[in-house]
Every structure is written in C-alpha cells, then in structure tokens.
Chains A and B, each alone.
Chain A
C-alpha cells in the first residue's frame, strides 16, 4: 500500500470548489490564492528533493571529496505573509529543507549565493564584511516590462501571445551564445510566473565567476541603451557587426521581426507607430519620402498583404541602397531595437543578488515557475502554464490513484518536473560527480608523487 492510499488530506480539499482560470487568460485570480492552497502545494507537489539535489551539486553523497558544509553555506530567503522577508535561512539536509518550507509556507522562495561560511553563524564573527559569496550561478532576468516602448498589445505586468515572442527571441539568442560562445552546458531557463524568464547557468566555472567577470558577460550581451532622453537607443557602430550580433540577427532577430512582431504589433500601421521608427533614420530625406508615401496610402488598404510588411519592404529598399553605411545600418538597428534581448544588468552583475527559485507559485497569477526547454522554446505558451488552483483541482480528481513517483506525477506539473530532471538536473549531477572524482584522484596522485622517492 502506498502512502497516498492512507492519506486523508484530500478530504479537506473538497470543501469548496475552486474556479479554474480560463484558457488564454494569465491575469490574476487573487482571491483564489491563499495560504492553505500553498500549504497543500508544498506538501504534495513542490519538488523538495530535486531542489535539494540541485543545490548540493553532488556534495550530498558519501564520496570522501564531498563537502558536507556546502549546502549549509547557501542562503535561502523567504517572503512570508504580510510582506515579511526573512533572509539567511540555511539547511544542512534534505529533510531540514523540506520541513522548513512546509512549515513556513513562504509566498516566495529566493535563492542566494554560497558564502564562505554558514550565514547562520554570521554574527559570531567580529568585523564587517566577514560573510562573502564564493559561489553563485550566473543568472539572467528578462522582464517584459522592459520592452514597453516596443510593444503595443500590452503594457506593464500584462503578457499575451502577441508579445511573448520577445521572450522566445531572448531565450534563443542568449542560450545559443551561452553555449556556443561561452562554452556553458548546464543552463536552466525558467518561466518567472508572470511576464518574463530567468536563466540559471550552473557550470562550475560559471558559479565561480567574480562580479567583474559577470558584469563583462552581461555587458557582452548588452545592446539596448535606452531611456527617455534618447530617441535612438540602439547604436550599432563599426564597419561590420560583431559575429555574435550578426549571428543573432540572421538566425533569430530578422525572422521574428519580419514574420511575427511586425504584424502582431502593427509596428508601421499607424502614424504614431511608424513615426517612432522614422525617427531612427538619420537621413531626413528618406524619412520624409516614406512619410509621404505612407500618409497617402492610408486609405488604400485593399492590398492582400499586410500593410506593415509592405511598408517595411519600402523602408528597407530605400535604406539598403544608401551609400552611407550609417543609413544602411539603420535597418539592423530598427530590428535590434524591436527584438534584441534586454537584460536586467544588476541581477547578473552581483554574486549576492537573490533570485526566485523554480517551482515557486507566482502570487499574482497563480502560475508555477516551470522550466522552459530552450530547444523548443517557441512551443512554450505562458497562457497554458499550470496554476495552483488547476493543480489542486487535478489532485482532487486523481486523488486516490497511487503513483510511485509522487503526487505531482498525477498533475500537469509532471512534464515540468520531468523536463527539469532529464534536461537539466541529471546531466548536471553526473558532471558534478565526475569532476569531484577526477579532482580527488588528481590530489591523491599528487600526494602519492610527493611521497615517492
């Protein structure tokens, strides 16, 4: 008989019938999100053991090279009810971690760095700056609200299938570069629950990067330098583009701009919108020529082809023939402005920056922060990400069916957890074990050599 069979909690859940969110709607159902639902989530669905194994990076084994203090030096922060924020939670075992989460039922769990000593003991040491981060994943945070000046379908916290492609572009561009350029392999992409994505680079080399090195990587990715004060926020100098930018353009940006965003955002269909683009053209005569053309053609919208596409072709024609490189380059600059990833630099630069743990539930949308597979990220649909209510409903339905894997396997969360394990956790732990063994053997060999006569 399995544990599930004897379990009585399912009885509690039948008391009220929660409303399921409609298809395609991401917006919040705040009155449905309450602590008792979270309690059930943490008790039955949240993958504690996976989190523990990930955070241990192989140090939870019996191998002599394992560092038993490793996990205990990692900071976890909780956001509790009533906006209470608790930092420097540490755990020394899987049960400690699991029990603490189940007990405290945090609205949000953040993961911090690994410090030089157990942060719980930080006050035992005299002097300032005794606690320093020594390891931390290389992380990126891409938030849709940073694109508000180039999307018209939504703004602020909202996200829909018309603007979501911007996130797909970001994942593709950054993921490719992290792997091909920087040589990283253990990369986890996670839906942030509402309007963006997070990226966790977990290679050993990445975890040990200094702040300066992180800033350099973030800066390598940086193209957009905008604020209200400049109308031209992307400036691509140089005779040719750096290979990284060129590749991003030809493999991702151009396609997504021309086949998706141009039309879904109606970037050239109205005067207000096309003016923003015309503003970016340094040659006034071209800009006015286009303006003239487009003001005229406002009425004749009988063409079968989308007006945005027609106008974009006209714009490209004029710009690409120009003798000045700065003008020709304008085409790329426009595409980059409307599609290229915009990272939050501060998140990546500092080792001590906290970031939300995967599989948390977003309090405003109820959606679970599930992993995104970069290899088919274009299939990811934020509107169908499981919500807390939905998962509990599913548990209700499947209630008495036993499952050797765990309760989550009966719900929509199953795919997310399986993806997490197969594409990320298992390869990572395998490498950790190998690295640990080989460095241990190397040390052994070294000391043997020293002793030999």
Chain B
C-alpha cells in the first residue's frame, strides 16, 4: 500500500504486496494491497471504519442478541463505509483495515480489542455472502468444504436433524438452515469433539452456523499472527520512518473520540450561574458532579480537575465571564481575590481561547477522562474507574440511584465497562433509556436537559 499526498510523489510503507483474494465483497486482508492512498483518506477511511468497530463493541457489551447485532452491523457498515465513488468502496474497506492494523497492533490490549471486533464484523459479513462467495472463502482458508447436494441432504435429513436437536439447535429447515457442508472429519476436530456434527464414512456434515464459526476462527487466528508481525515492523522500522507523516496520525487514531466535540455550546445548553447548583444535581454526570461538589466543599481544585470541570462547563454553555465569576467565587474563599486574579484567571481565559495561542480547547470525552490518572488530592478522572467500590456506591446512592440499578451498575464496573455503567446510571436517574450510550460528559448533560425539558413541557 502506498500513501501519497495529492500531487506528491509517494513512499510505500508496506513491503509485502499482493492482490486481495477471495470475493470482491468480502476481502480476507491476507496481505497489504498494491494501492495508492491519499494522505487525507488514510486518516478518514480509518476513522469511518473505527466508527463501525466501536459501534460493534458497544452493541456487544450491551448484550444485543444476534439478530439485533446483524441489523446493527449492516447499518453501521452502510452508513460509514460508503464512498461517493462506488468503485472505491472495496478499496476503502481494505485500506481502512490495514491502517487500523497499524493503530491497534501496538499493545496486547489494543490487539485483543481489534481482533474481537474485526472477527465479529467478519463473521456477520460472511454470513451475508452468497454460497458461491462462501465456498471461495473457505477454499482460501484451506477448508475443503463441499456443499451437500439436495439429494444427499434429503437422505440424511433425519440424522442431521437429530444432531442439531442433540446440541440444542432447532433445525427449522428454512432455506438457510438446510445448507450443509461436507468436509473430511479431521479438518474440523473442534466439531468432532463433543459430537456436534453428523459423521459418515469419514465426512463430517457441518451446518451453516458451524461453518461460520470455523471460518471466523481461522480468520481470527490469521489476523492475530499478522498483528504480531505488524507490531514488530511498526516498532522496528515504520514508526521511525514515518515519524513526520503517518505516525502522528496512527498514534492519535486509537484514542480518538468520534462524537460531537461540544466546543460550540447549543442554545438550550446555556446555563446561568444562579441555576448551576440545581443543574449540577439534576444533569451533571457523576464525574463532574464530584468535581463540582469538591469545589464547593474545598474551594479549590487542582489543575487537572480545573481543566476537566472547566472545559465541561464551557461545553455546557457557561460563557467566559460567568465562568470567571464562578471560579472566582469559590477560589477567593480559599486563596483570596488577588491570588485568584494573578494565578488562576489567566488559565480560565486561556481555556476559552482568549489568551496565548488562542486555541479553543474542547471538553474532554469519556475516553480521555477514563484514561487519566488522578493522584493524591485529585478529584478528576472517571469515578466508575477511579473510585473504590464503597466510595462509588456511596456516591451513586447520594445521586439517587436505587439498589437494583446499583447492582447492574456495579456489574458493569467490575467488567470495566465504565461508560456503560454511567449510561445505566443515567437511565436509572432519568427513568428513560439512553440507547446511544454515554461517550461524553456533555452528551450526558445535554441528553439529561433535553429529557427534563420535555418532561416539563409535557406537564405544563
């Protein structure tokens, strides 16, 4: 694959080349393709694919059922992976995959996540391929499966049905369920073990859903090996070579937040100072509520806390003057007015882009907050991650989370699904579902305000 700037000479970063194998609609990503990529597309294609993978990740951790997942994957793919030039669609698929390999090869945790999501994606897309295409893919994977002819199927139908019922799959004999593949038994030891297939004269008769599993397993193991190799290449040569071009893009991609950035506050987000305590109780997520309460309590916050809360408040609609007034009110109680003006006001104005290089800083996303590392005396970070269980329970119950919801939330926390925990908290407190899931504190705030406003409107 060669990455070029428009109108500039290209430099290749992948030494292996080779054509994409198998069906045109479902590439197997066996080797990096001979393609030219524009630098802009390098990043944007990857981001689009990342939206798909993150959507899948979200769907899986919310425990969506297989048919719901099917719908979700189809939608995600359609929405994100299209291209105005339809001939470019397959290329976008392939390029985005290989770019994300670079991004996600670098640590064990990243690799694991990427493997799971790409395997799930592959599994769903495979299922939707034509029988022809599926056979081609199986051949690629050295799975010598032969489709069972109708005649043979009829003669074995009863036995096949027995096997299906013996393992708890009800053979509905719909057209898709009636597709069986015949393969030498030694090719599918995982199905022979546990008697999950009918075996006759050395052949195992594999049902469609089992084939999907087999294929997905092979896909996953190939990708796993490839990721290790990619990591090695990255560490030893690519990162160095591309330090001024691709590397910064790659490194930023995996921590990228993909939603709206809340740098431009919406109209209904505007809050006034006199309302702020009330609004904090009703619509702030736990992380911001905690910082807010600590600020009120101690009349001080350390730098990281000020950044996290301050930018949040900006996103919520607090303008720069109100913000200064707010912080001044608290800090002056501790450090005095003069010190506040000298040491803290500048930074607040800086956050609004009124000072220095005048960058308008964007409020932190959940991802960024979760990854932060609060130390002694700090109150920033994500409480679902950074609080001990007891403290978290106490904080949640102060917020008004009932005991049943509490257990669900704690379950998510134990599973390290911090954003889901926050989402469940939102749902419990607002008695309404939050299907999109919480990805940003400001999203929590605006969703909350929207709900409360709607309730108020409907009651008047």
Give chain A residues whose Cβ lies under 8 Å from the Cβ of B193: 215-216, 219-220
CB <8 Å contact, A244 and B199 = yes
Option from A182, A209, A238 in Cβ contact (under 8 Å) with B166 = A238
Q: Is A180 an interface residue (CB 8 A)?
A: yes
Chain B residue at smallest Cβ distance from A217: B192
Q: Using Cβ atoms and an 8 Å threshold, which residues of chain B touch A246?
A: 162
How far in angstroms is the closest Cβ of chain A from B83? 43
Q: How large, as a class, is the contact surface on chain B?
A: 20 to 34
In the bound complex, CA of A242 to CA of B165 (Å): 8
A128 at the interface (CB under 8 A from B): no
Query: Which residues of B lie under 8 Å from residue A180 when comparing CB positions?
Result: 200-201
Tell me whether A242 and B166 are in contact in the complex, defined as CB-CB below 8 angstroms, given that A209-B186, A213-B186 are known contacts.
yes
Kindly list chain A residues whose C-beta atoms are within 8 Å of the C-beta of B185. Answer: 182, 217
Q: Which residues of chain B come closer than 8 Å to A205, judged between CB atoms?
A: 186, 202
For residue A220, which residues in chain B have a CB less than 8 angstroms away from its CB?
192-195, 199
Closest CB-CB distance, B376 to chain A, in whole Å? 50
Given the known interface contacts A216-B192, A219-B192, A219-B193, the answer about A238 and B167 at a Cβ–Cβ threshold of 8 Å is yes
A166-188 Cβ-contact flags toward B at 8 Å (1 or 0): 00000000000000111110000
Cα–Cα, bound, A181→B159 (Å):
12
Q: Tell whether B270 is near chain A: CB-to-CB under 8 Å.
A: no
- B168 to chain A minimum Cβ distance, whole angstroms, is 6
Point out the residues of chain A lying under 8 angstroms from B201, CB to CB.
Answer: 180-181, 183
A250 within 8 A of B: no
Q: Which of A212-239 contact B (CB under 8 A)?
A: 212-213, 215-217, 219-220, 237-239
Chain B: minimal CB distance from A243 (Å): 5
Q: How far is the CA of A22 from the CA of B122 in the complex (A)?
A: 70
Q: A239-B165, A243-B162 are in contact. Are A213 and B199 (CB under 8 A)?
A: no
User: What is the bound-complex CA distance between A41 and B200, given in angstroms?
Assistant: 43
Which residues from chain A contact B159 at a C-beta distance below 8 Å?
243
State which residues 58-84 of A face B: CB under 8 Å. none
Inter-chain contact B166/A181, CB cutoff 8 Å: no
CB–CB B165/A216 < 8 A: no
The minimal Cβ–Cβ distance linking A184 to chain B, given in whole angstroms, is 8
Cβ-based interface call for A241 (8 A): yes
Q: Does B353 contact A (CB under 8 A)?
A: no
List which B169-227 residues lie within 8 A (CB) of chain A: 185-186, 189-190, 192-195, 198-203
The A/B interface has a contact count, at CB < 8 Å, of 64
Q: Give the docked Cα–Cα distance between A217 and B162 (Å).
A: 20
Chain B CB within 8 A of A14 CB: no
CB of B163 within 8 Å of the partner chain: yes
CB–CB A238/B165 < 8 A: yes
Given contacts A220-B192, A244-B195, contact A181 B200 (CB under 8 A): yes
Interface membership of A240, Cβ < 8 A: yes
B186 and A240 within 8 A (CB): no
What residues of B have a CB within 8 angstroms of the CB of A237 in the complex? 166, 168
- A184: chain B residues at CB < 8 Å are 202
Asked if residues A242 and B162 are in contact (CB atoms below 8 Å), the reply is yes
Shortest CB-to-CB span from B31 to chain A, Å, is 27
A182-B185, A205-B186 as given contacts; A240 in contact with B165, CB under 8 Å: yes
The answer to whether residues A238 and B200 also contact, given A213-B189, A215-B193 and a CB cut-off of 8 A, is: no
Contact of B163 among A182, A215, A216, A243 (CB under 8 A): A243
Which residues on B sit within 8 Å (CB–CB) of A182?
Answer: 185, 199, 202
Residues of B within 8 A of A245 (CB): 195
How far apart are B202's CB and chain A's nearest CB, in angstroms?
Answer: 3
- Asked if B168 contacts A238 (CB within 8 A), the reply is yes
Task: Tell me, rounded to whole Å, the shortest Cβ–Cβ distance linking B160 to chain A.
Answer: 9
Contact B199 A181 (CB under 8 A): yes
Bound CA–CA A183/B184 (angstroms)? 10
Give bound CA distance, A244 to B190, whole Å. 17
Closest chain-A Cβ to B171's Cβ sits at a distance in Å of 11
A182–B188 CA distance with the chains assembled, in angstroms: 13
Measured between beta carbons, the chain B residues less than 8 angstroms from A215 are 189, 193
B166 (CB) vs chain A CBs: closest residue: A238
- Asked whether A216 lies within 8 Å of B190 as measured between CB atoms, the reply is yes
Most buried by A among B159, B186, B198: B186
Chain A residues contacting B189 (CB-CB under 8 Å) are 212-213, 215-216
Nearest residue, chain A, Cβ from B159: A243
Q: Chain A nearest CB: distance from B37 CB in Å?
A: 40
Q: For B198, list chain A residues within 8 Å (CB).
A: 242-243
CB distance from A328 to the nearest CB of B (A): 15
State whether A242 touches B192 (Cβ < 8 A): no
Nearest chain-A residue to B202 (Cβ)? A183
A237–B168 Cα distance when bound, in Å, is: 9
For the complex, give the distance between the alpha carbons of A220 and B189 in Å: 9
Shortest beta-carbon distance, B163 to chain A, in Å?
6
A182 to B186, CA, bound (A): 9
Which single residue of chain B is at the shortest CB-CB distance from A238?
B166
Type the 1/0 row for A321-355, where 1 means its CB is closer than 8 Å to any CB of B.
00000000000000000000000000000000000
Closest A residue, CB atoms, query B195? A242
CB-nearest residue of chain B to A216: B189
Q: Interface digits, A389-426 against B, CB 8 Å rule (1 contact, 0 not)?
A: 00000000000000000000000000000000000000
Question: Once bound together, how far apart are the Cα atoms of A205 and B203, in whole Å?
Answer: 13
Known contacts A209-B186, A240-B165, A243-B163; A219 and B194 CB within 8 A of each other: yes
Question: Contact at A240–B162, with CB atoms within 8 Å?
Answer: yes
Which residues of chain B are within 8 angstroms of A216 by Cβ–Cβ distance? 186, 189-190, 192-193
Tell me the complex Cα distance, A210–B386, Å. Answer: 49
CB–CB A240/B190 < 8 A: no
Most buried by A among B163, B190, B192, B194: B192
What CA separation (Å) do A209 and B189 show in the bound complex? 11
B residues near A241, Cβ cutoff 8 Å: 162, 166
- Give chain B interface residues in 119-166, CB to chain A under 8 Å: 159, 162-163, 165-166
- Contacting residues, chain A, for B166 (C-beta < 8 A): 237-242
Most buried by B among A219, A220, A237, A241: A220
A211 to chain B, nearest CB (A): 10
Bound Cα distance A212, B194 (Å): 13
Please give the distance in Å from A245's CB to the nearest CB on chain B: 8
What is the chain A residue whose CB lies nearest that of B158? A243
Interface centre among B194, B199, B200 (most CB of A within 10 A): B199
Whole-angstrom CA separation of A246 from B193 in the bound complex? 17
A257 and B186 alpha carbons, distance in the complex (Å): 33
For A217, what are the chain B residues with a Cβ–Cβ distance below 8 Å? 185, 192
Q: Which of A296-340 contact B (CB under 8 A)?
A: none
Which residues of A233-280 have CB atoms within 8 Å of chain B's CB atoms? Answer: 237-246
What is the CA–CA distance of A217 and B194 in the complex, to the nearest angstrom? Answer: 9
Residues of chain A contacted by B199 (CB below 8 angstroms): 181-182, 220, 244
Q: How far is the CA of A215 from the CA of B168 in the complex (A)?
A: 23
In the complex, chain B residues whose CB is within 8 Å of the CB of A240: 162, 165-166
Complex Cα distance A244/B204, Å?
13
Interface residue ranges of A157-204 to B (CB < 8 Å): 180-184
CB neighbours (8 Å) of B168 from chain A are 237-239
Alpha-carbon separation in the docked complex, A242 to B198 (Å): 8
* Residues in A neighbouring B162, C-beta threshold 8 A: 240-243, 246
Nearest CB of A to B185, in Å: 6
Give B17 Cβ to nearest chain A Cβ, in Å.
28
Q: Which 5 pairs between the two chains have the least Cβ-Cβ distance?
A: A183-B202, A216-B189, A238-B166, A216-B192, A219-B193
CB pairs A–B below 8 angstroms (14 shown):
A182-B185, A182-B199, A183-B201, A205-B202, A209-B186, A216-B186, A219-B192, A220-B194, A237-B166, A239-B168, A240-B162, A241-B162, A242-B195, A244-B195
Besides A220-B194, A237-B166, 13 other A-B contacts (C-beta < 8 A): A180-B200, A181-B200, A182-B202, A183-B202, A205-B186, A209-B186, A213-B186, A216-B190, A217-B185, A217-B192, A220-B193, A239-B165, A242-B162
Chain A residues with a Cβ under 8 A of chain B:
180-184, 205, 209, 212-213, 215-217, 219-220, 237-246
